[in-house]
Amino acid sequence: MNRPTVTRRQGLAIGAILFGLLLVGFVIDGGRALLGDVAGVISASYFAAVFRFTVPIAFAAMGGIFAEKTGVINIGLEGLLIIGAFSAVAALWGLSATPVGANIWVAFLLAVLASTLVALLFATVCIDFKADQIIAGLAIWLIALGFAPFASIIIWDRTNSPSVGTFPVWEVPVLADLPTVGPLFSATLPVFLLVLAVPFSWYLLNRTTFGKWVEASGEDPKSLDTAGVDVRRIRYAGVLLSGVYCGIGGAGLALNTGQFVGSGDTMVDGRGWIGLTAYLIGNYNPIGAFLASFLFAALDALQLQLQQIAGFEVSSTLVGIIPYVAVVIVLTFVGRTRMPSAAGEHYESDE
């Protein structure tokens, strides 16, 4: 029979092999000299970049938390980010590219709206038409992955958009002028939104009645239903929130660069999936999810800067797979993150 002791050990072995592989990769690429260069790269402007990188990942992660906590696993986060990014650029372009001015705010809102509408479609399909959430989520991702470059070609005649303008940088008065840490306090809107959204999400989930209903909807929808709360509504709210968050994340990503890139896996390039890993590692806690997102973004930024500043060859590919390896290790060894018990299941009220 299968004894738990043996299974743990077998599991450990797999993880050790995976981690070993990664380590070997670093060594072969000359990872030994890495530490010295890392120290040289880290600065306030590095962290400012990390915050920018964190935006799409953390927003996707928090959106995913809201959806899954209500009981709807939203595996289409990547797709929603793509929709957000594409819509932001397309809207800004449509609103006439120059001068950017107030149009960028309108474009931003339109992008959030577009992503939310797609989330609404996903919610309807999952909640009212009782679709398998995993399959429907995959479909949302695949549709977005096909639609964004398709529409780019239709609009711009190629998969990448022209430059359309970026968010203005806002400086926090006084703080932005501080020595050393100053650069941290001049950032674009999405970064400020992120800083607000993390505590807000935590507060919403843990301190409000809505948060309790979200938890009940994902853990035991029948209890919530018999207590007189409409489970359907709560689930819709959760999925729509994930749409809003992903819209912010996607638009933030695209309007920080000022261009939509639709080739390959689009400019979103797996950030939605990393968001998924971030909230699993963060165990469905917005703060944990943010920290995991921040860590992954920091690694990504580090790798970029090492290449630029130190002229140092770190395999960006290997750094890129760290989040995925990490989540696989966490799921395998640290044990199960506590998934809401009713996540993935349909709920049907008796009448």
Partner 1 sequence: MSAGRDRVEATLDRLVDASVLERLQISLAALVFAIIVGAVLVFVSGLIVDCPDPFLSLPGVGGACYNPFEVYWTMITGSFGSLTALGRTLQETTLLLFTGLSVAVAFRAGLFNIGTQGQMILGALGAALTALWLGELVPESLLGALIVIPAGVVVGAVIGGLWGMLPGLMKAYADAHEVITTIMLNFIAMGIAFWLVQNHVGNLESDSVLTHTIPDVAQLSPTIGGTRFSLWALLAALAAAIGIYVLYDRTILGYELRTSGLQEAAAEYGGVNAKRNIVTSMTLSGALGGIAGSIYVLMVQYRWQDGIPPLGFDGIAVSILAGNNPIGVIPAAVLFGAMQSGSVALNLTLGVPPELVEVLRGLIILFIAMPEFFRMIGKRYGYGSDPLATDGGENV
Partner 2 sequence: MGESTDPGDPERHAPATRDVAARNGGAPAVRLEGVTKRFPGVVANDDVDFSVDRGTIHALIGENGAGKTTLMNVLYGLYEPTEGTIRIGGEPMSFEDPGDAMDAGIGMIHQHFMLVDTMTVAENVVLGNEPTRFGGLLTDERTAVEETRRLAERYGFDIDPTERIEEISVGEQQRVEILKTLYRGAEILILDEPTAVLTPQEVDALYEILTELIDQGKTIIFITHKLGEALHAADEISVLRDGKLVGTVPAAEATREDLARMMVGKDVLLEIEKPAADRGSTVLQVSDMVVDDDRGIPAVEGVSFDVHAGEIFGIAGVDGNGQSELIEAITGLRSPESGTVAFEGADMTDLPRRKRIEAGMAYVAEDRQKRSLVMAYDLRRNGVLGCQRLPTFGEGLWIDWDRIDGYVDTVIEEYDVRPPDPGATAHSLSGGNQQKFIVGREFERDPSLVIAAQPTRGVDIGSIEFIHERLLELRSDGKATLLVSSKLDEVTQLSDRLGVIHDGQLVAVVRPEDVTDEDLGLLMAGERPTGLDVESARVRTEP
Q: How many residues bind partner 1 (CB under 8 A)?
A: 58
Which of partner 2, partner 1, none does 226 bind, CB closer than 5 to 8 A by kind? partner 2
- Alpha-carbon span 257 to 157, nearest angstrom: 20
Nearer to partner 2, 224 or 318 (CB): 224
- Residue among 31, 182, 211, 320 that touches partner 1 (CB under 8 A): 320
- Asked if 275 interacts with partner 1 (CB under 8 A), we say no
Given a contact cutoff of 8 angstroms between Cβ atoms, the answer to whether 317 and 300 are in contact is no
Restricted to residues 107-126, the positions that interact with partner 1 (CB under 8 A) are: 125
Q: Outline where DSSP puts E strands in the chain.
A: 170-171, 186-187
In 126-270, which ranges are continuous DSSP H helix?
Answer: 133-156, 189-207, 209-219, 221-226, 231-257
Which of partner 1, partner 2, none does 317 bind, CB closer than 5 to 8 A by kind? partner 1
Point out which residues bind partner 2 (CB under 8 A): 1, 3-4, 207-209, 211-213, 215-216, 219-220, 222-224, 226-229, 338, 341, 350-351
Binding mask 9-48 vs partner 1 (x if CB under 8 A, - otherwise)? Answer: -xx--x---x--x---x--xx-------------------
Give the total residue count for the chain: 351
Which of partner 1, partner 2, none does 222 bind, CB closer than 5 to 8 A by kind? partner 2
- Alpha-carbon span 55 to 53, nearest angstrom: 6
Given a contact cutoff of 8 angstroms between Cβ atoms, the answer to whether 310 and 37 are in contact is yes
Nearer to partner 1, 154 or 174 (CB): 154
Which of partner 2, partner 1, none does 276 bind, CB closer than 5 to 8 A by kind? partner 1
230's tokens: 């409409």
- Using alpha carbons, list the distances in angstroms from residue 75 to 123, 153, 183, 186: 12, 26, 35, 33
